Structure 1
């Protein structure tokens, strides 16, 4: 009986600590962080306790060689695929105001106030991505979905 309890406890713990399962990943809106093309489930790499998907193995190889140039777009993909969820404003880190909801490169995001939202609304497309998904903003505003 003790073995059964241990096995059940281990499965429960694994379910609690494991990241979003592959079945929960939504690739419909995902874009390759290298090419911008739709992604394939077959081309992926582990990234920030989740997976980043690519359109082909060539793009996957470029990312594996040097992920830094693609980091912002990879972070956006983690949110688009529902592997990460928003926890705070990407600018201030403060609590979110649902009234500020907007879309950045196909990903729905919120801000703490209309001033922060305005900064993003006034920016050009690539600058919007950097404001919301660059490494520092991403760390401040998003967490692994569990």
Structure 2
């Protein structure tokens, strides 16, 4: 009986002292996926600095892989910056033109607005990674999005 009580106390102590993510930290990831692993959920305690913000990963090994070849993972990292509200759209990612609220497409869970139906149609016709590339590759990201300054 003493052993069970001791184990219970130790388990409770461990549970109370382990780092916990606040609801705000969990919410800010907004279902984001690791840009390296692709399908695994990103974690708030696994991150790296990127474009003046944070990009989140699924495990401790992914930030190292990301650092070695940022160009390879840039599109998915840029998408994550928008998905986690660290970057905001200001212009059309294809033309750099002003936004037309009626020309919007969902790109992997992120609402992307374009200047016209031609740009919208180009992205709408694309599928999978091609759609991500059109909206979030470095060139498109630089034209259409801006990283929010940290407060």
Same fold (TM over 0.5): yes
TM range (shorter): 0.7 to 0.9
Provide the C-alpha distance between the structure 1 equivalents of 2:62 and 2:110, rounded to a whole number of angstroms: 22
SS in structure 1 opposite 2:41? coil
Higher RCO, Cα 8 Å, sep 6+: 1
TM-score (norm 1): 0.81
* Counterpart pick for 1:100 among 94, 98, 103: 103
Count of matched residue pairs: 125
Equivalence map 1:1-146=2 (5 Å): 26-36=28-38, 37-146=40-149
Provide the C-alpha distance between the structure 2 equivalents of 1:80 and 1:28, rounded to a whole number of angstroms: 7
TM-score (norm 2): 0.78
| Structure number with larger C-alpha Rg | 2
Q: Give structure 2 stretches of 5+ with no counterpart.
A: 1-23
Provide the C-alpha distance between the structure 1 equivalents of 2:36 and 2:87, rounded to a whole number of angstroms: 19
Q: Give structure 1 stretches of 5+ with no counterpart.
A: 1-21
Deviation, structure 1 residue 69: 0.6
CA RMSD in angstroms, aligned pairs only: 1.6
